[in-house]
């Protein structure tokens, strides 16, 4: 492959993302891989995001909608505007490391995989390094490991565009919290996926990242996705037991909503199902019997 000959479409969905937007866009312009376009989907922002985005040159294609839609619906609309052989994603408060696209295009071409992802550095609202989401190098059918340990950071993902429309693998626009998890797990049923241990992105986690509404949706939407997999005719029979374990873990995440409401009794009834699957969850289940403030419990569970 000649360097920089394959177009990569970087999808950016934005709703009132002015605070970190320039830094995010600039990280794409700073890529060592030069043949890219930005599909910028303005999801009816009311701040200065539109004017910031339109300051850039012809490589940023600006689109705007009059009504705010779910993230999944907005991403589907943006993806349909993409022209690249590969599609990548970047949220307006996150950052690409400079050789992110170079590494992934080379991997996607050499391994002929449908999707790739990599490690992420976690930063706070002040851009300070606070954590890391480290993955290992692997390629193949990753459905089994992803069922019980989902590790894909959305910002690090690159997808082969031809598969999206050919197999109708779009984001579920009814999901509000985890349309990415839903799509990538469906990818994992029939397609080769590769992960890169190198750090590809900086993912920003702020105090407002996890809302009360999100806590109500985490377990519910994970369960919806897992039931989709369960009913998929191509789901391998030998992984049914692993899928059942994943569903039990989903019950644990459904307990977050109960914890948030201070209903520890109901939370324990849900959490015990996951506690039988993972030692870590069993530890959190035991904590639910102690007089610990809900804010501390939730932070321990979701970080």
Tell me the CATH number at 87. 3.90.550.10
Asked if residue 296 is part of any domain, the answer here is yes
Same domain, 291 and 251: yes
Same domain, 225 and 282: yes
Same domain, 286 and 196: no
Residues pairing with 37 in the sheet: 9
Q: In which element (H, E) is residue 116 found?
A: strand 115-123
Q: What pTM was estimated for this model as a whole?
A: 0.93
How many domains is the chain partitioned into structurally? 2
Same domain, 197 and 221: no
Count helices and strands in the chain by DSSP H and E runs: 12, 10
Same domain, 85 and 131: yes
Domain boundary among 204, 233, 259: 204
Question: pLDDT digit string (tens) for 246-294?
Answer: 999 999 989 988 988 889 999 999 999 999 888 888 988 898 898 888 7
Tell me which residue of 146, 148, 142 sits closest to 244, measured CA to CA.
148
> Could you tell me the pLDDT band of residue 1, with boundaries at 50, 70 and 90?
very low
Question: pLDDT digit string (tens) for 139-183?
Answer: 999 999 999 999 999 999 999 999 998 998 999 999 999 999 999
Residues pairing with 116 in the sheet: 158, 194
Q: What gap in Å lies between CA 244 and CA 230, rounded to an integer?
A: 9
Portion of the chain with pLDDT greater than 90, in percent: 79
Asked if residue 2 is part of any domain, the answer here is no
**CA distances, 103 to each of 48, 113, 121, 146, 156 (Å):** 33, 13, 16, 22, 11
Same domain, 164 and 223: no
Q: What is the total residue count of the chain?
A: 303
> Could you tell me the pLDDT band of residue 208, with boundaries at 50, 70 and 90?
low
Q: Which residues have a Cβ under 8 Å from the Cβ of 247 and sit 6 or more positions away?
A: 223, 226, 227, 230
**What is the domain range of residue 19?**
8-204
Same domain, 98 and 21: yes
Same domain, 28 and 166: yes
């Amino acid at each position: 492959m000649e360097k920089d000959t394959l177009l990569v479409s970087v999808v950016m969905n934005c709703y009132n993302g002015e605070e970190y937007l320039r830094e995010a866009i600039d990280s794409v312009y700073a890529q060592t891989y030069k043949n890219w376009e930005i599909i910028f989907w303005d999801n009816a922002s009311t701040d200065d995001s539109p004017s910031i985005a339109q300051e850039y040159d012809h490589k940023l294609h600006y689109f705007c909608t009059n009504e705010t839609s779910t993230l999944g619906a907005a991403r589907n609309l943006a993806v349909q505007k993409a022209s690249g052989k590969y599609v990548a994603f970047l949220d307006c408060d996150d950052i690409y490391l400079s050789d992110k696209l170079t590494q992934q295009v080379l991997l996607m071409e050499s391994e002929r995989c449908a999707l790739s992802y990599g490690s992420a550095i976690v930063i706070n609202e002040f851009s300070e390094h606070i954590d890391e989401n480290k993955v290992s190098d692997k390629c193949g059918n990753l459905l089994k490991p992803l069922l019980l340990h989902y590790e894909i950071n959305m910002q690090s993902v690159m997808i082969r565009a031809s598969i999206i429309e050919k197999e109708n693998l779009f984001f579920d626009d009814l999901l509000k919290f985890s349309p990415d998890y839903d799509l990538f797990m469906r990818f994992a049923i029939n397609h080769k996926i590769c992960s890169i241990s190198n750090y590809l992105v900086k993912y920003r986690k702020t105090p407002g990242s996890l809302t009360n509404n999100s806590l109500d949706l985490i377990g519910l939407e994970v369960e919806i996705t897992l039931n989709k997999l369960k009913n998929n005719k191509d789901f391998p029979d030998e992984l049914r037991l692993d899928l059942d374990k994943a569903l039990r873990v989903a019950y644990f995440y459904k307990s977050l909503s109960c914890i948030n409401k201070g209903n520890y009794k109901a939370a324990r009834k849900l959490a015990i199902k996951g506690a039988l699957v993972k030692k870590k969850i069993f530890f959190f289940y035991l904590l639910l019997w102690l007089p610990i403030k809900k804010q501390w419990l939730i932070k321990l569970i979701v970080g």
